[in-house]
Structure 1
Amino acid sequence: MSLIKIKTLIEADVKTCFDLARNIDVHQESLKYSEEIAIAGRTSGLIELNESVTWEAKHFGFVQHLTSKITEYKYPNYFIDEMVAGAFKSFKHKHVFIEKGNKTLMIDVFYFEVPYGFLGKLIDVLFIKRYMTKLLKKRNTFLKMYAEKMNSISRQKALQNSMYGLNDVFIRI
């Protein structure tokens, strides 16, 4: 079994990060380059405990299908999705969110096993682990940028609202 662990610090609150990570629409946008789309189960919005989603995507030049299910869920601290059907022998992906002041530390812990015995292990060492690490890092970079942009827009709106309030005070004087 292989393990990939990635830590990403995001300048946004923990609830925003948690919800973005389980948002089917955001997931599709983050992996647009692999033509990943939700085709069955929960196909839009926020996936919840015991719900599943079937993905269709192009990896290594082949169209593949993968179904995963949310098997554990504690809002807004973590959730786990596990493969129900797909190209892997198995996978378990734990998404952890730790509040760090006004930031969030997002930790991905991805366990997976490829089929085909010794040949599968060789393919894993040569290609799969590197490919999956790159894919998860791209997705996390997308989530980070998305969350931080949302955070920036919220701050700008709050500032504008407070400035409008000051303008009202000055106009009245």
Structure 2
Amino acid sequence: MKIYKIETVQHLNATIEECWDFFSSPKNLQTITPNDMSFEIQDFDGKRMYPGQIITYTLKPLFGIKINWVTIITVSQENQYFIDEQRFGPYALWHHKHFFEPAENGGTKMTDIVHYAIPFGFLGRIMNKLVVNKKINGIFDFRRTKIEELFNSKV
């Protein structure tokens, strides 16, 4: 199985506590997900993120096909990092790490690292090259822009 990696780094003009407050709430996932994906949380307990928390949602990531996705927060260290993993969904592997640390010039450095794998062997590798990798990068581009608006556009 081929494992792919995407890493993004973004500076936020906000304290780590402000960043953590936003990103540790599953309710804010919809805000940073492109509208055309029809992201909708189906179930979560309404609590701030904690290890063992399960979040279920539906979305339409490709070709308007609706899928169910279940993630679990496997690790969470307040104001530092958390990891979400797909338990059920379209990927053979989805492991997403989120890190928050003080930036040298003030504010917060946020780093996202995703490791993922596509099922179906050779066909999955072709799909990744033609469609999936571009889609994931497009989602992160959208998130970068949305996060810039939310945290870095304050006058």
Give TM-score scaled by structure 1 length: 0.80
Higher relative contact order (CA 8 A, sep 6+): 2
Shift of 1:136: 1.8
Residues 54, 67 of structure 1: 8 Å contact kept: yes
Counterpart of 2:122 in structure 1 is 118
Counterpart of 2:4 in structure 1 is 2
Secondary structure in 1 matching 2:51: coil
CA distance in 1, matches of 2:147, 2:23: 7
CA distance in 2, matches of 1:143, 1:26: 11
Counterpart of 1:97 in structure 2 is 100
Counterpart of 1:127 in structure 2 is 131
Counterpart of 2:112 in structure 1 is 108
2:24 corresponds to which of 22, 25, 39: 22
1:80 corresponds to which of 80, 83, 95: 83
Percent of residue pairs identical: 21
CA distance in 1, matches of 2:111, 2:145: 12
Runs (4+) of structure 1 exceeding 3 A deviation are none
CA distance in 2, matches of 1:6, 1:32: 17
Secondary structure in 1 matching 2:91: coil
Residue type at the aligned position of 1:50: G
Counterpart of 1:161 in structure 2 is none
Across the two proteins, how many residue pairs are aligned to each other?
150
Residue type at the aligned position of 2:53: E
Flag the structure with larger Rg: 1
Q: 1:93 to 1:8 in 2, by over 3 A?
A: same
CA distance in 1, matches of 2:54, 2:141: 23
Residues 91, 113 of structure 1: 8 Å contact kept: yes
Higher deviation after alignment, 134-143 or 68-77: 134-143
The alignment status of 1:56 with 2:58, answered yes or no, reads yes
Residues 25, 45 of structure 1: 8 Å contact kept: no
Shift of 1:46: 2.8
Shift of 1:98: 1.2
CA distance in 1, matches of 2:143, 2:47: 17
Shift of 1:134: 1.3
Residues 6, 137 of structure 1: 8 Å contact kept: no
